[in-house]
Structure 1
Amino acid sequence: MGATEENDLTAGFPAVPTPRSSGATARVVEGLRRAIVNLEFEPGTKLDKAELTRRFGVSRFPVAEALNRLKAEGLVDIRPQSGSIVSRIRLADARENMFLRRALEGEAVAHHAQHRSKELLSALRLNMREQKAAISGDDRARFHRLDLELHDLFVSVVGYPRVRAMVEGARLSLDRARRLLITPRRIALTFREHAKIVAAIAAGDSLAARNAMSAHLDSVIGELEDFAREYPALFDGD
């Protein structure tokens, strides 16, 4: 088939994205997701496609694809008349994801209390010492990372990849909301709540470990609901 005939046959059909386009889309998705989760773009912020093309150095196609993917993740709302905006935090989703975490992470710490792995306890105590150092140094970003690492230790050491993936998915959807609560008071409370969980595991008390985890997660969602009442424009829901 000649080039002219091929062009006639493909006229009017959208071009298939090249691997380069796919790579550009992934880069925009990752960068924009990070900016949204880190609250660089607050809930309700309008996303200008032209500005995003300049920010990431790409054409409009990867930006449009990225926005569609982030819409599927619940981070972006695309409205025909008003364009794309950063989704407001949905309290109903936060409650559901915390419910899931309470069930899975509660079972995980109860499991660890039964087995009392020396290696795990050593890793947990090291993490707690580093959390304390981060608080002393007023390093909120480091404390946040250590918080994530501690919770990942709880679920990853159990050895069930699907459980870890489910908890990770629930945690990621809550990360944006939790960053609103990173205050000195919340950090101090989180440290004490973490300490109770680790102490219960070390004591081999499964019920106390499960209850401590539930109390910790309930405390976080309770503060989030209080914050939502104070700053309703950032949230979507009752």
Structure 2
Amino acid sequence: MRTEASPYSFLVRPTTLARGSVTADVTNAIRQAIVTLALPPGSVIDKSLICAELGVSRFPVSEALARLQIEGLVDIAPQRGSTVSLVRIADVREYMLIRKALESEALRVLIGAHEPELVEALHANMAAQREAADRDDAEAFHQIDIDFHDIIFRSMRFTKIKTIIDSARANLDRARRLIITPRRLALTIAEHQAIFDGILAGNQDQATKAIRAHIDAVMVELFAFARERPSLFADGETLGTDKDSFPFG
């Protein structure tokens, strides 16, 4: 029975559990809980409680956890159960290097060839970022932040690039949420504005330098946080204490 006292009350119960989509719906619900840190790194996953919370049998929950294991979000050990995987800083670093290269080059192609609608969309997005930051609504800000970058790719119809970036977004989103603070929100707005200013000026170098600096700044903060809280990371203890452990420059 689902009760208010359930430790898994944060799970979003699907409105309909259609036959054939139950496993996908359960997977999405658990993934969302992991990505938003409602299920924090290293936490034990209780299948029975999840079944009770979502109103499903053990089979779709087991299948969902197996899928999330493939995505790198869940660890499953025989006879020991399932846990939320720790964030691997090495994976995040590699992904962000790929993102840095792809986004900066995409911006270089965009400058001077964009439609007026792009500027309007980015203006609206920047306003939404500031409103979310003023409300201290970190979750809303996170989604608007993602859309800022997506707007650029949608305008160019670079679907393959967007697919590559989206493929590792779940683990990256977990890492980024760990460092969300009012200070980081303010810095992100300033960094996004610098990117937007480069687009408005039609200046390729200005825009690409701004987006590279933005990605580097996020990674610098993430490395610092990982050194302070190594237990949240699978490889947190391996991080050095100097800038040589951060390869972005």
Residue by residue over 1:109-161, the C-alpha shift from the partner in whole angstroms, topping out at 9 and shown as x without a partner, is 22222324321111111111221222223222222221111011122211121
In structure 2, distance between residues paired with 1:50 and 1:189: 42
In structure 1, give the amino acid aligned to 2:166.
Answer: E
Q: Map residues 102-181 of structure 1 onto 2, 5 A cutoff.
A: 102-181=100-179
Q: Map residues 18-29 of structure 1 onto 2, 5 A cutoff.
A: 20=19, 22-29=20-27
SS at match of 1:236: coil
Residue 196 (structure 2) pairs with residue 198 (structure 1): yes
Structure 2 residue corresponding to 1:76, chosen from 67, 74, 79: 74
Query: Is the CA contact (8 Å cut-off) linking 1:228 and 1:235 kept in structure 2?
Result: yes
Q: What does residue 53 of structure 2 align with?
A: 55
Query: Is the CA contact (8 Å cut-off) linking 1:110 and 1:201 kept in structure 2?
Result: no
Query: Is the CA contact (8 Å cut-off) linking 1:101 and 1:170 kept in structure 2?
Result: no
Query: Is the CA contact (8 Å cut-off) linking 2:89 and 2:233 kept in structure 1?
Result: yes
Structure 2 residue corresponding to 1:39, chosen from 17, 37, 40: 37
In structure 1, distance between residues paired with 2:106 and 2:169: 15
Rg comparison, structure with higher value: 1
Q: What does residue 14 of structure 1 align with?
A: none
Number of aligned pairs? Answer: 219
Q: What does residue 91 of structure 1 align with?
A: 89
SS at match of 2:27: helix
RMSD between aligned residues: 1.4
Query: Is the CA contact (8 Å cut-off) linking 2:87 and 2:171 kept in structure 1?
Result: no
Q: What does residue 65 of structure 2 align with?
A: 67
Residue by residue over 1:166-207, the C-alpha shift from the partner in whole angstroms, topping out at 9 and shown as x without a partner, is 112233330011111110000010000000000001111112
Query: Is the CA contact (8 Å cut-off) linking 1:196 and 1:212 kept in structure 2?
Result: yes
Residue by residue over 1:14-52, the C-alpha shift from the partner in whole angstroms, topping out at 9 and shown as x without a partner, is xxxxx82x4221111010000000101110001111112
In structure 2, give the amino acid aligned to 1:199.
Answer: D
In structure 2, distance between residues paired with 1:170 and 1:208: 27
In structure 1, distance between residues paired with 2:234 and 2:214: 24
Residue by residue over 1:55-107, the C-alpha shift from the partner in whole angstroms, topping out at 9 and shown as x without a partner, is 21111111111110000000000111421100000001101110111111111
In structure 1, distance between residues paired with 2:227 and 2:199: 35
In structure 2, distance between residues paired with 1:215 and 1:88: 27
In structure 2, distance between residues paired with 1:32 and 1:172: 12
Runs of 4+ residues deviating >6 angstroms:
none
In structure 2, distance between residues paired with 1:164 and 1:83: 35
Gapped regions of structure 1 (runs ≥ 5): 1-18
In structure 2, distance between residues paired with 1:34 and 1:205: 38
In structure 2, distance between residues paired with 1:126 and 1:64: 42
Gapped regions of structure 2 (runs ≥ 5): 1-17, 239-249
TM-score (norm 1): 0.88
SS at match of 1:85: strand
Q: What does residue 231 of structure 1 align with?
A: 229
Query: Is the CA contact (8 Å cut-off) linking 2:36 and 2:177 kept in structure 1?
Result: yes
In structure 1, distance between residues paired with 2:63 and 2:104: 38
Identity of aligned residues (%): 47
SS at match of 1:89: coil
SS at match of 2:156: coil
Considering Cα pairs closer than 8 Å and 6+ residues apart, tell me whether 1 or 2 has the greater RCO.
1
Q: What does residue 183 of structure 1 align with?
A: 181
